[in-house]
Chain A
Amino acid sequence: MDRFLFLTFDGLSRGAVYAAFALALVLIWRATRIVNFAQGAMAVATAYVGYSVADATGSYWLGFAVAVLAGLLLGAGVERVVMRFVDHSSPLNGVVVALGLVLIIQGVLGMIYGNEFRPAEAPFSRDAFNIGGVALLSRYDVFVFAAVGAVVVLLTLLFTRTPTGLRMRAAAFAPDVSRLLGVPVGGMLTLGWALAAAVGSLAGMLVIPTELGLHPTAMDVLFISAFTAAVLGGLDSPIGAVIGGLIVGLVLSYISGYLGATVAPMAVLALLVVVLLGRPDGLFARSKARTA
């Protein structure tokens, strides 16, 4: 029972990161109907920048802020320079371009930082507190929950309470009408990509200390988990992404806790297959189309 409780909290903590990352995927999918397969590589790139700054200045928080800021810039840059010019006549094109970006980012990171794992320090202790004799949560888990919770709240406020959020939603759902009404649709797309990449960077900064460390391919498996979470939530639904992330986190935590950590990647694949074949529209999506 103690182990079950521990695994539950561990799963929720992992799930929070998957939720943030899935949220980034959903933001871009809603705005452009592209699944950003480069999200993982972009997050790793900004994490490298963040940890370089943290190493140089000795301040983790400065590095954290720089990583998120770098995410904003990288997201905006990718949209302005590359994604804007993708020919949307075939849905394959956006995917292929994003995969090209993965190769570029991984290659450049390898050239600058090398292809070995670099240790990444967590800002808080990862030792779990004992509550009533049961090890449940570490300080770091609390920090993860707080950070992801803040992101979810801020994004919700942005999209539902501000004029900018309204314009972004309008630009995503009815670009032509929005343009006629004076919404700068292109600018809104750039802003959407920038926000999504910043959220992805935050998720990257949160997850990298809990894994093996910084590596150009560090986010590959995480990307699959987050993609599974996003599909489980329906790709179109931010709330779905958060709940999907938590579910995926719990499932993976139980499986790696009870069956061994090496089974976890296969469990992700199995989960993805089950979701895609069982509920391809996700648990929460209202739209029927999955062809886009």
Chain B
Amino acid sequence: MTALKDRVTARMVAPASRRRLNPYLVVAVGAALVVALTYTLPPFRTYQLATIGAYLCVTAGLTVLTGLNGQLSLGHGALMATGAYTLALWQNKFNLLAVGIVVAMLVTTAAGLIIGLAAARLRGPYLAGLTLAVAVVVPSITSTFDETFNSDQGLSVVLNPPPESMTVEQWQAWLCWAGALVTVLALALITRGRFGRDMRAVRDDETAAKLAGISIARTQVWTFVISAACAGLGGALFAVLAQSVSPGAFPLTLSLFLLMAIVIGGLGRLSGALIGAFLLVALPALAHEIGEASGSQRLEGNLALTFFGVVLVVVMLAAPGGLASLRVPRSWRPSHTTRKKKH
């Protein structure tokens, strides 16, 4: 009896004891950290830091969609491409970066709305298959309309030089992390509120959610749209970082990498999205160094590919909750053993 009481109280205490960080504080500390890093790191590392920021926009949005709402999207690479190409076309016409990023997000949001409307009617492997098709097909659109998108060569992105007091890399890092931190803050606030609860309810039990008065389809479509906006922002930032866009930069493997990134850090956790974004930059860099050391060009890109695949499989088999979920299982805790003694 006491054991049962222990367990019940443990359950009730657990959420409170898991300290909830104040998102504003986290973002402020993050911003300070990024600014400090941009003044201490060498230029190439600063560029990598900027890339982590751009990835974080996408992984944060994707982990909310997949982890909290249960919709698996393999199409986020294609949504990034949408954002990147929109920004490139805008910049080459008007050269107004701030507006361009917003326009890129809006266009990607519209694309996300279309996919999301279809996705809300689909489940499991059907949704995965549809989004996979989006990821495979969208890069080939650049060849279909080659006057606009210039086929495989892609487009270059016109950019104004950064303010004089900054290097290009510093400016890129600030821009990307501004985007990333705003994204994370917005997502943290959304997922903590009523809408976040709706998302989780729909993921866990659609029938129960419906009985509680939640519109399943609306929740799923909205989540997809939010996630698509994040992917559009990330894509636009990538276009700024690379100063060019081409279909080769957004292959199917990019979408799979994004999936790996959110799985390894723990689905549905924004901290996991950060770990994933870091690994997306760090592991290919590591593979690049190993490839250079061994003198084999074939090793370079493919080593990262293989490694990501192995990580994805191993994490899904050993710890489906991701690395962040690797805690002491309930059965090892004292309360359980006391119960066993009674029998």
Contacts and interface: CB of A to CB of B under 8 A. Distances in A.
Contacts of B310: 100, 104
A12 interface: no
B124 interface: yes
A106 B143 contact: no
B303 A111 contact: yes
Interface centre among B72, B126, B259, B260 (most CB of A within 10 A): B126
Contacts of B128: 35, 37, 92, 95
Given A100-B309, A110-B302, A217-B251, A231 B129 contact: yes
Contact of A95 (B125, B260, B304, B313): B125
B330 to A, nearest CB: 16
A144 interface: no
A91 B143 CA distance: 35
Contacts of B253: 103, 106
Contact of A227 (B133, B143, B306): B133
Contact of A269 (B123, B133, B298, B305): B133
B144 A224 contact: no
A110 B251 CA distance: 15
B299 to A, nearest CB: 6
Interface in B254-273: 256, 259-260, 263
Interface in A79-95: 82, 85-87, 90-95
B13 interface: no
Interface centre among A217, A220, A266 (most CB of B within 10 A): A220
A120 to B, nearest CB: 19
A28 to B, nearest CB: 11
A276 B253 CA distance: 24
Interface centre among B130, B134, B308, B316 (most CB of A within 10 A): B316
Contacts of A231: 126, 129
A278 B300 CA distance: 44
A15 to B, nearest CB: 18
B121 interface: yes
Interface size class of chain B, counting residues whose CB lies under 8 Å from the partner chain: 35 or more
B30 interface: no
A268 B134 CA distance: 10
Interface string A11-37: 000000000000000000100001101
Given A99-B259, A111-B302, A111-B306, A93 B313 contact: no
A104 B306 contact: yes
A280 B302 contact: no
A84 to B, nearest CB: 10
B249 interface: no
Interface string B306-343: 11111111001100100000000000000000000000
B132 A96 contact: no
Contacts of A273: 118, 130
19 contacts: A29-B125, A90-B70, A90-B320, A96-B263, A99-B74, A99-B259, A100-B260, A100-B308, A100-B311, A101-B309, A103-B260, A103-B306, A107-B303, A109-B302, A110-B301, A111-B298, A228-B133, A262-B140, A292-B124
Interface of B: 66, 70, 72, 74, 118, 121-126, 128-130, 132-134, 136-137, 140-141, 143-144, 251-253, 256, 259-260, 263, 298-299, 301-313, 316-317, 320
Given A93-B316, A105-B309, 11 more contacts: A37-B132, A82-B313, A87-B317, A106-B305, A106-B309, A107-B307, A110-B302, A231-B126, A266-B141, A276-B130, A290-B123
Interface of A: 29, 34-35, 37, 82, 85-87, 90-97, 99-112, 114-115, 217, 220-221, 223-224, 227-228, 231, 262-263, 265-266, 268-269, 272-273, 276-277, 280, 290-292
